[in-house]
Structure 1
Amino acid sequence: MEAIEELLRSAGVDGRRLRTALALLADGGWWTLADLVRETATSRRAVEALLRAADLERSGDRFRLREPLPGLAAVPAAPADPVAHLLGGHAGLLARMEELVAAAPRGRQALDHVAATAETVVRRALLMDTRFWLPGARLLFVGDHDLTSLATALLRPDAEVAVVDLDERVLAYIAEQADRLGVSVRTRWADLRLGLPASVRDWADLAFTDPPYTPEGIGLFAARAVEGLGDRERGRVLLAYGAGEHTPALALKVQHALGALNLVSEAIYPDFNRYHGAEAIGSAADLYVLRPTTKTWPAVAARVDGLGAAIYTHGPQSVESRPAGVVPDPLPADFAPGVLVGEWPRDVLPKTPRARLSTWLAKPYAAEAAEVAIAVPAGMEAVLPRLLLATRARRVRAWTAAPADPPAGPLTAVYEVTARGRSVEAVRRPLPEGQRERVLRGILDNAHGKLANTWREALIRARGDLTKRQARALVAQAAPWAGDATVLELPAHRLAELPAAVAASLATPAAAGSPG
């Protein structure tokens, strides 16, 4: 008892968390360490100290107090959660999200994935629905491993929902489940370090993000969320971030990153988000409601222009990583690139024009180059297929930090690809003869253009019997997911569907594509 009293004294005014943990241990039920951490939003270290001081009964990995603690005052009720009282009216949604979260792709440590609880996901949707007017609104989820997009679409099918993510597995799962459940969720691929997809820039009324918990990650994801807002006067960004109760300096750095974007914190809901994991920060994170100001957009432009690639806490792109060099020294003698794409040492072909990876993906390169060299930073290998699709050169050589597998899928319709160690060589194939192959090639050769437009024009050339309206309708029928996306934004599962969809658009009679 004396050790517990000392812990409570040393906790001071923050002792409510520990007292709540003691009350739970004394209620007769059995508790695991992870459940106590998540329920009380207390760091694992603090809960472990409390458990060492308490007289406990144990059953496997669960425990409870052996006897009630004399003199321990009852813990008054905590401040009301803003939406917890609404959960009872959405039991069906909660049950469905529990199933969806349980079956979702496992998190990737290198991307700082930690899954939010199903209840948290539903409460996020409820908070947005009660704080804002969602019917007809556009909601952008900047990264969504937690599936908040699905919860929101199920709660509010009359809202437009879009998800941008780097993880192909997450995008495929969200699209598959949205189709199965009969709700609409657009999925777009992007590495946010290189830009936001054009189809969701200046698009949303609200943006939600649960980013990597580093100042660099928070600043980047918040900036991209702002870029996604179309309503510059009334738009909002909702952002999850948590730090342990013993590390306020980390939270200060993050709030400085948000302040540098000139964002107003309209509200901060403490410990709103709960997670399966992240026990060092109490398996909890606050929820920020941020409002841009007129000074936000210039600050965002300055921020993203000087971004680095290291934003995570783990893996080759962690803020503490020191990635090895990518490009060989010297370059192969039989290779004379007309442009160097990515970060290259200054002494490598100093007179050759250079382009950033982000610029290369954003728009076609103005000058013609027969050969192109690309340096792909460590941890960004997933970008390579899009970098190749964005290239119009006859021959491309790309170097990665680790041995690379040759990109596959629709890229094989454009390039003959060979991988040798850390280098990938792609040689452009001649134009194909078959009608389906020529339409597909016409689409992939114009990867920066809107897919629906390039497909429509290729279809008209191939068939010769279509008006623009008919061709547009055929594309929409064959690929309702195309919308206003570019090929570079399409997730891998949609790219894989593209050849069959092209074939369907060629086979469907023109009358079926006519409006009305």
Structure 2
Amino acid sequence: MDGTAGLPVVDGMDPRRVHTALSLLVDGQWWTLADLVRESAAPRRSVEMLLGGLELERGGERFRLTGEQARRAGELLEGAWRPFVPADPVGHLLSEHAAVVERLAEFIARAPRGRHVLDHVAATAETVVRRALLLGARFWLEDARLLCVGDHDLTSLAVAMIHPQVETMVVDVDERILAYIDERAAELGVPVRTRWADLRLGLPSSAESFADVVVTDPPYTPDGVGLFVARGVQGLREQGSGRVLLAYGASDRTPMLALKVQKALLDLNLVSEAVYPDFNRYHGAEAIGSAADLYVLRPTSKSLPAAGARAERFSAAIYTQGPQAVEAAGQVPVSAEDLGDLRADVLVGTWPNDVLPGVPRVRLSTWLAKPYAAKVRQVGVALPKGMDAALARVLLATRAERVRVITDDPVDVRELATVLDPVYELHADGRAVEAVRKSFGGGDLVSLVLRAVMDRAHGKVVNVWRDALIGVQPDLTKRQARALIAESAPWALDVSLLELPMHRLRELPGAVRECLAGAAV
């Protein structure tokens, strides 16, 4: 087991990782396996193999080298080849922002628990602050816009705290994260906007061509990285000057996986302008050493067309676990029987060719992107595996009298029924969710305005709301109506209803009520 200069050798373990791990162990302090993995950035399996060849003292989950083993390891290290350790580009700035690190550590500890089906692993507070510091060191941030494509790490809050002049938008599929970021941003008084999106179905229209810099820490599958980066490219307002910062890590033991990811980036015609090794550290992800590199990607003139062309291909299966994992890829099995007595005028999603062969078909991404041109009375929807979060938006995207959505598993629609009550009567029957549109008219002014807003979900909320407000309060000017909306719901500006996170949809009735009260004064 002896290698160069007598250092232990572990099959598949980079010698510099061996050196780093031993250097951490020789001072005699106690370690946990997770801490040693994170500090050495070596895969858990490699660290376990290394420890298997050493003499250890153990106390519960902690361990340390025996005195004699520490002495021998110290002697080996003293004359050993010392591998190159890349310089941290912003490490020297971190001490100036200790208070921000402490606050972010608190936020991360209180954040919603990571969802394994979304490959969530929390970055350390130091990591997200260093990301913010790198943005300031490398880019001109006056009047700059940042797009976070997924933000379980809370990078948006770190940037807002250190660079409050930056206008930040977060796009995520996890409703809990969006609500949490909004709460913390309000607490801090910083400019962060949130948008709901399942990136497999597209980027929100308000996020397209929005940003100068994009940050993303995606699922570490080739399709996951390719999809998130492609959406990031679509989010840049200037392809020539914009950059995408990508956190990506792979185990030293799986170089072919890293090669597949880099090929996905090459397919997007991106230049790797810089790569900072082990820049990102995590609470977890021990299979890859709880560490990931940070790529600075520069688009070329061919990147945006490639992003649009390849995003659908990348979206087949992007996670490592759950219903949208690579191993579980596939559509929800549907048949004509699933439609029951529905006489569909259009079928949305992927349906077998023998189901209502003469009825028009619409892709789910198209259905959400723009209003369907023809008038329809009844709609059948096949919702792909793992996309239950899109259900509310699928229903809001039509003005049909009746919609029947077939899901992979039965869905609890009680909360959704409350949110969509101004528009639909909702009930579930096994895998089918049935929505019947309520007749329009009657009710109080709040109900009338709410219904008008929810009937035009593809439109800008502020514009639809403004027109509905003037409809019930004719003395208002457009400017006055817009000002009332901005005061009651500043989050409703420059966004469609389909992009709003669920917590904003829940807040909408109260905001409409407050707006009408202001109009009556």
- TM-score normalised according to structure 2 size: 0.95
8 Å CA contact retained: 2:316, 2:329: no
Whole-Å separation in 1 of the counterparts to 2:506 and 2:399: 21
Q: Map 1:259-408 onto structure 2 (within 5 A).
A: 259-323=266-330, 325-332=332-339, 334-406=341-413, 407-408=416-417
CA deviation profile, 1:82-139 (whole Å, cap 9, x unmatched) = 1111111000000000000000001001001111111111111111111111121000
Matched, 1:160 2:167: yes
Q: Map 1:93-112 onto structure 2 (within 5 A).
A: 93-112=100-119
My pick for the range that moved more, 320-329 or 192-201, is 320-329
8 Å CA contact retained: 2:12, 2:253: no
Secondary structure class of the residue paired with 1:402: coil
Q: Percent identical across equivalent pairs?
A: 61
Q: Map 1:64-463 onto structure 2 (within 5 A).
A: 64-67=64-67, 68-70=70-72, 71-74=75-78, 75=82, 78-323=85-330, 325-332=332-339, 334-406=341-413, 407-433=416-442, 434-463=444-473
Secondary structure class of the residue paired with 1:349: coil
Matched with 1:17 is 17
8 Å CA contact retained: 2:335, 2:351: no
Unaligned stretches of 5+ residues in structure 2: none
My pick for the range that moved more, 207-216 or 71-80, is 71-80
Whole-Å separation in 2 of the counterparts to 1:13 and 1:22: 13
Give the CA RMSD over aligned residues: 1.8
1:7 deviates by 6.8
1:184 deviates by 1.4
Whole-Å separation in 1 of the counterparts to 2:267 and 2:3: 44
1:8 deviates by 3.1
8 Å CA contact retained: 2:411, 2:428: yes
8 Å CA contact retained: 2:101, 2:129: yes
Whole-Å separation in 2 of the counterparts to 1:12 and 1:326: 42
Whole-Å separation in 2 of the counterparts to 1:216 and 1:116: 21
Identify if the C-alpha distance between structure 1 residues 283 and 331 changes in structure 2 by more than 3 Å, giving closer, same or farther.
closer
**AA partner of residue 438 (structure 2):** R
Matched with 1:514 is none
Unaligned stretches of 5+ residues in structure 1: 512-516
Secondary structure class of the residue paired with 1:78: coil
8 Å CA contact retained: 1:404, 1:422: yes
1:328 deviates by 3.6
**AA partner of residue 382 (structure 2):** A
Matched, 1:501 2:505: no
Whole-Å separation in 2 of the counterparts to 1:55 and 1:269: 34
Secondary structure class of the residue paired with 1:413: coil
**AA partner of residue 72 (structure 1):** L
Whole-Å separation in 1 of the counterparts to 2:211 and 2:114: 27
**AA partner of residue 440 (structure 1):** L
My pick for the range that moved more, 41-50 or 431-440, is 431-440
- TM-score normalised according to structure 1 size: 0.96
My pick for the range that moved more, 261-270 or 61-70, is 61-70
Whole-Å separation in 2 of the counterparts to 1:90 and 1:347: 62
Aligned length: 511
1:330 deviates by 2.6
**AA partner of residue 27 (structure 1):** D
My pick for the range that moved more, 106-115 or 320-329, is 320-329
**AA partner of residue 437 (structure 2):** R
